[in-house]
Structure formats: structure tokens, C-alpha cells
Amino acid sequence: MTMAQQDQEQEQDTARVLRALADDRTAVRLRATMAVGTAPAPDYVDTLVVRCADEPDFQVREMLTWALTRHAPDLTVPALVGELRSERAQARSQALHTLSKIGDRRAWPAITRGLLTDADDEVARSAWRAAVALVPEEQRPELAAVLSTQLGRGPRATQLSLSRAMIALGEVIVPSLAAAGTHADPGVRAHALATERLLRDPEAESAFTVYAIEEAKRVVALGPDAQEG
């Protein structure tokens, strides 16, 4: 086989894989994504990033993220950062999730306050995780202050995501939690208290988080004496 024939065959194989990534059948898309991650090539990157925004199946999206982590960050990071400006929530959320897995700190400047406070809970949660993974050491207190503005936000799952993100920053969150503990909104105060308790006892998180926020709300409602009982 000549070099030209080999190149043509490679192009045809690549085209088949790219078509399979958009197949109507979930199993076909999953296999194609696994194949791309197993044998990464620059030609796949743009299509993988686009598929992250469109893919309806969670398992396939996770495989897309894995496949992107198998490619060179010099190719993937700029493409994913571009997605953070998308009007589509899934595009922003999945790009943030993937950037957190790649762990390349060149993406840090793209994790803006706007993403950390995004109106879409899934985008915000992905931004919190990405920020904690990528933030430079000297900017941790500033990040903690921004994250603290989201205390009291959303349902329990969202609040626990924020608590875990803040706790991952360590002791730098203490001043922000203390300030939030005097907030006019009792929901914010309760969430700050629950997060502080989890910071002090991280070993108990798996058993404690289910009840932490509700118990903190009780403490806030009843006052300091509630902690005695």
C-alpha cells in the first residue's frame, strides 16, 4: 500500500468515527468515544468538544470528557475555554467539568465570577469544582470570598456541592464563613454554619451531610442554646 493510500484510508477511518460520534444510537456513540480516547488524534478534538454541548446521555458525556483528557492540553484547553462563552448551559457546564479533569491551570483566568455565579445550577456547580481544581494558591482567599456569595443558594444538592468546594480550599474559607454567619438571610447563615461544621469534621461527611444543613437551620432558628441540645 502506498503512502497516499494509507493517508486516504486513515482519512476514511477518521470520517467514520466522527460520524459515529453523532449516531442516533447511544451505544454507537459510546463505542466511538471510547475508540477516540484509546487512539487520540488532533482531528477529533473539535468534534469531541462540540459533542459535549449536544450529547444527551450522561455516560457518553463522561466518556467524552475522558477522551478529551487523552488529548494534548495545548489542543483541548483553548477549545474548551471557548465553550465557556456559549449561550448553552450544557456547553458551559461540560467544558468546565472537562477542564477540571484536565487540570491545566492555564484555564484558570477563564473561570470568571460570572461562571461562579451562573444562574444555571449545573453550570455554577461545575464552575465551583473547576475553580477549586485550578486556582493558584495565592488566589484561594479571593475565590473563597466569591464562593461565599453563593451560600444559601438552591436545593440541598447544590448547597452540598458548594460546601464541598469551599472545604476543598481549606482554612482560607473561615473568614468568609464567619462573615456569612452574620448575614441577614437565615438560609445563608445556616449554610455557612453547616459548611463550617463539615470543615471541622471532614471524616464525618458521608454520614453528616444529609443532616448538616437542616440541623444548621434549626440552630439558626433557635439560637446558640440549640447547640447545647
Helix, strand or coil, per DSSP, at residue 43: helix
CA distance 60 to 21: 10
Give the ranges where the chain is alpha helix by DSSP (H). Answer: 3-20, 26-38, 45-54, 58-69, 73-83, 89-102, 113-116, 121-134, 140-148, 156-169, 174-180, 186-200, 205-222
Q: What digits encode the pLDDT tens for the residues 59-72?
A: 999 999 999 999 99
Do 162 and 150 contact (CB within 8 A), yes or no?
Answer: yes
Superfamily assignment of 1-134 in CATH?
Answer: Leucine-rich Repeat Variant (1.25.10.10)
Q: Quick one: pLDDT band at residue 12, thresholds 50, 70, 90?
A: low
| Residue 6, pLDDT score | 46
Average pLDDT over residues 82-92: 98
Higher confidence at residue 15 or residue 136? 136
Name the nearest CA neighbour of 209 among 201, 217, 219, 198. Answer: 198
Q: Is 224 a residue whose pLDDT tops 70?
A: no
Q: Is 39 a residue whose pLDDT tops 90?
A: yes
| Residue 2, pLDDT score | 60
Q: Quick one: pLDDT band at residue 139, thresholds 50, 70, 90?
A: very high
CA distances from 41 to 3, 36, 47, 117, 174 (A): 19, 8, 11, 35, 45
Q: What is the location of CATH 1.25.10.10 in the chain?
A: 1-134
Cβ-Cβ contacts under 8 Å for 193 (sequence gap 6 or more): 181, 216, 219, 220
